[in-house]
Structure 1
Amino acid sequence: MLEFPYDEALTAEVKQLKGVRWSSSCNRWYIPESDEVIDLMLKQFKGKAWVDYSAFREKHLATRGNRTTSAQQKTIIQATLSPQLLQELHTFRQWLLHKRYSDSTVKTYLQVLEVFLRFISPKQANEITSEDMVRFVNEYILPNGLSYAYQNQVVNAAKLFFRVIHDATLWPEKLQRPRSQHKLPNVLSKEEVKEILEAPTNLKHRTMLSLIYACGLRRSELLNLRPEHVDSKRGLLIIKDAKGHKDRVAPISNKVIGMLREYYKACKPKQWLFEGQFPDTQYSARSLEQVLKHALKKASITKPVTLHWLRHSYATHLLESGTDLRYIQELLGHKSSKTTEIYTHVSKKSLQQIKSPFDDL
């Protein structure tokens, strides 16, 4: 659903979108819910209007099995920010890049900041108080069903923005993050992992999914691999500039090395280990997600599995096989051991030793 104040120019642009339709009963425009249409919409309105599609993005980042509300499907088009705020956001972006924040963090911080600054409009940034953030949470985030993670991102971005751009050392300290969540990682059984990895008939697809599980990789870590990062003689995979700009190594077995050699002979990658449709282009994250989606369908697995489930499963299976938690922390690239300790809560090795009192009845 598209919602915006009446504007002839914007209406003319909307009519050009693929699959758009007008609802007389609801007095709104509707577009198909797909990544392709959203991408086209963003290009269509670039430089003409600002598109708040955070609710759509939240829905697709959430677990696919979760129920979504009508508010989560709403896309709002609003007018552009004032020149002063646009300049401040540009300055903030330059600072983030200077400090070597990751591209995804820069993109996320700028997106959530824009949503917040538009919500409190016509206030300028130097007029904002902590009460405005409370109102934003109560009147925008909660009614739209946006996640705890989204709220946390807004607070993190706002704190940094006001500290860097407005040298505000008091206001950000009053800004409180939401109460911490303690969610358990989603883990697959070894049998389910095997079914998923054996499902793709395409050699590249099978190799990509297998490497994620075999080395506990994040999606970006797999896509950023280059052929020279595979050290077959030492049996190591070199993971460069991972989360937090950290390098690490992961052991790869002879079975994985054999699969990589077969793939290399067939596809002959040059710049990237897994290249896209055209030579020397990086394989896209969206395409990789589609690979997993097709594998799940072929394996008849209905769980809302994501690529990160394979990483969680790798860590849990290592723990269940007796690998020390400290080694697992190093293999996953966790900064804190507390992050790795979450896998002790889902490992069946210890849980299965507990006898339920029900059995004694």
Structure 2
Amino acid sequence: MMPLTIFPLQYKAEGKKIGIKTCPDALAKVVLRECGSLKYSKTYQCWYLPYDKAVFSRLKQQFTTLSILSHNEPSGATTPTKECLPGIAEADTAIPIPPAQAAPQTPQEEQPRIVVWNNSGWKVQVPYKKELIAKIKQIPDVRWVKEEKVWFVPLRKGNFQALQQATGIEPPHIDFSEYTKPTNNGSIYPHPTRTDMVCISVPYRAAVIAHLMRMKGRHYDKGQRIWTVPKVKPVLEELISLMQQSGLTLTVQATVWDNCPEKLPPQNRQQSNSYLQRVPAHRQETVQLFTDRLMLRNYSWATIKSYTLIVMQLMKAHNWQLPQEIPGRQIEKWLGKQIQNGISASYQNTIVSAISLYLRLVAGIDNWQLHLPRPRKEQKLPNVMSEQETLRLLSAPENLKHRCMLYLGYAAGLRVSEVVNLEISDIDSERKVITLRAAKGKKDRQVMLSDTLLTVLRTYYKAYRPKRWLFEGENKHEPYSARSLQAVFRQAKYKAGIRKQVTFHSLRHSFATHLLEGGTDLRIIQELLGHNHINTTLRYTHVSNKVITNVQSPLDKLFKNEKVL
């Protein structure tokens, strides 16, 4: 460890401090922060610690060469004058000051530095030497801390001797006087401020911590080492059972079960509350009113979320003014800026609809004086995969659950939201149909259940045994996340070597196109896809190979009997 020079510092109105004359390096700062509350003074241009016996005692233990000045002398004047700081008893803090010696043969920067870290091991800073690094790597459970550029050697049987043999330096001894043996006691009690959450204090158990990490809505307070989780009866019962199986002695306060709901609140209400937290207090009531009125009119949650976020973005861009108070020209400029940022024509249309609906439902303005222009409708063709590409993609995932979800998307032409929201009761194996409830547009529909898909679903059910949702999420009480399924598709796409710009929705496009190429009537495809208008389904005629390849290019006719090159 580097030499350290300290002096008594009279710091403004706070009184005495232990001033640090030497400029500490990165490793020394880590050690100094362990000794006490390390701060820097711009006035005195030095670091300092609290003027305390315990702090000084830690300094003695960590720094073998500690020089003490009587006051802050100019740079270069580092001759020690006392063996202890004034006002601190010599019997408690006396430090022998080694006499001046010749400089060691090895430069200081090339010597390994070892400090105790949190009484759980040692942090080691060494110069880059292949032989030395190879010896340190052989120490059991050693790891490299990239941020601090040091090695961490955990406290394990034999590591003290191994570190000493590797570096040639005796590591500092670890003080176990303040060590407390971990207990097997856990507790669950009500949250002090939130009625929908409970607090959990639990010692480390791998299975319990892994379960808590997977819970939706959980939070961990590093300072207090307390978990907070949603207050829901089945969730708590499952957690308590797991904690007891892990051998923990559990204390559960009786008030935890007061007004404890039997199931999780609707996901849309949870998300609505999370959006309100982003809004200033004086505007939360307005946003809540808009959300509630959309719900009363039975809008889908996807529409409610999209419209609410648009109104929030508009208000935030104008210092949280109400939309009816923003001049029309300012709204036009804001919309123009969004278009410059590259939003699509369909999203531009959504913005216009959201603002107009807010003004009509909340502000009571039916005939808005500013009519935002609606964009020209884009005529985009769907991205379709060939049958060979589809086969490679469906065969790519090794996970049975992932493969089953992709099979469903292609075999029945389902949207990503329709796949994740399927329940076991929606699969009718006798009639060979799948019922989709409250799909896009709040419409129910039925699609065919193929024999191949039924075989895959039965294999999946025997392996996973889901209870309600066909595809359960990390929390068994909730369905699989749509974003997670989209990530599954991307991984399968890259693994299958498909370079087209395709998404999970492309399985639906491919389903319709392959049916059309196989001779299925367009009206039947319309019903299977749940389209309101036949014009929407007619898009697939533009990408069907059956239509396109039957037409001969005039170039082929021109060079029919001629050499091309």
Q: TM class, shorter-chain normalised?
A: 0.7 to 0.9
| Partner residue of 1:328 out of 522, 525, 531 | 525
Q: Deviations over 1:7-55 (max 9, x none)?
A: xxxxxxxxxxxxxxxxxxxxxxxxxxxxxxxxx9xxxxxxxxxxxxxxx
Instruction: Call closer, same or farther: CA 1:279–1:127 in 2, change over 3 Å.
Output: closer
Cα separation, 2, equivalents of 1:227 and 1:333? 21
Paired AA for residue 330 in structure 2: D
- 1:213 and 1:314 in contact (8 A); partners too: yes
- The answer for the alignment partner of 1:225 in structure 2 is 422
Alignment pair present for 1:103 and 2:307: no
For residues 234 and 151 of structure 1, what CA distance do their matches in structure 2 show? 43
Who is 1:246 aligned against?
443
Q: Which residue does 2:330 correspond to in 1?
A: 132
Instruction: Name the residue aligned to 1:119.
Output: 317
Larger % of helix: which?
1
| Match in the other structure for 1:354 | 551
- Quote how far apart the aligned CAs of 1:82 are: 6.1
Whether the 8 Å CA contact 1:216–1:315 is kept in 2: the answer is yes
2:494 is aligned, of 297, 304, 307, to: 297
Matched AA of 2:390: V
Inter-CA distance 182–283: structure 2 relative to 1 (3 Å threshold): same
Instruction: Assess, with a 3 A threshold, how the Cα gap between structure 1 residues 144 and 261 changes in structure 2: closer, same or farther.
Output: same
Paired residues for 1:166-205 under 5 Å: 166-171=363-368, 174-205=371-402
Map 1:246-265 → 2, pairs under 5 A: 246-265=443-462
Moved more, 297-306 or 162-171: 297-306
Cα deviation per residue 1:260-310 (whole Å; 9 max; x = unaligned)?
111111111111001123433311112211211221122122223210000
- Which residue in 1 is equivalent to 2:129? none
Distance, in Å, in 2 between the alignment partners of 1:247 and 1:81 is: 35
Please say if residues 221 and 242 of structure 1, whose CA atoms lie closer than 8 Å, have aligned partners that are also in contact.
yes
Q: How far did residue 357 of structure 1 move?
A: 0.8
SS of the aligned residue for 2:340 comes to coil
Alignment of 1:4-153 (within 5 A): 85-121=283-319, 123-138=321-336, 140-153=337-350
- Pick the structure with greater CA Rg: 2
| CA RMSD in angstroms, aligned pairs only | 2.3
| Structure 1 position 105, deviation (Å) | 1.2
Q: Distance in 1 between matches of 2:355 and 2:288?
A: 14
Name the amino acid aligned to 1:343: Y
Partner Cα distance (1:172, 1:234) in 2:
55
**Contact kept? 1:320, 1:347, Cα under 8 Å:** yes
Structure 1: which amino acid aligns with 2:542?
H
Separation (CA, whole Å) in 1 of partners of 2:432 and 2:367:
52
Residue 337 of structure 1: how far off its partner (Å): 1.4
Question: Distance between the aligned counterparts of 1:344 and 1:99, measured in 2?
Answer: 36
Q: Would you say the 8 A contact 2:346–2:377 is kept in 1?
A: no
Change (3 A) 1:173 1:234: farther
Displacement of 1:144 in angstroms is: 2.0
CA contact (8 A) 1:109 1:153 kept: yes
Which residue is 1:306 aligned to?
503
Shift of 1:84: 5.3
CA contact (8 A) 2:383 2:501 kept: no
Alpha-carbon distance in structure 1 between the residues aligned to 2:371 and 2:545: 42
Q: Which has the higher contact order (CA 8 A, sep 6+)?
A: 1
Aligned residues: 286
**Structure 1 residues 299-308 or 213-222, which shifts more?**
299-308
Residues 184 and 345 in structure 1, CA contact (< 8 A), matched pair in contact too: yes
Deviation at 1:80, TM superposition (A): 7.0
Higher mean displacement: 343-352 or 294-303: 294-303
Normalising to structure 2: TM-score of the pair? 0.48
- With normalisation by structure 1, the TM-score equals 0.74
Bigger mean CA offset, 169-178 vs 306-315: 169-178
Contact 1:318 1:328 in 2 (8 A): yes
Instruction: State the alpha-carbon separation in 2 of the partners of residues 197 and 92 from structure 1.
Output: 42
2:478 is the counterpart of 1:281: yes
Greater per-residue strand proportion: 2
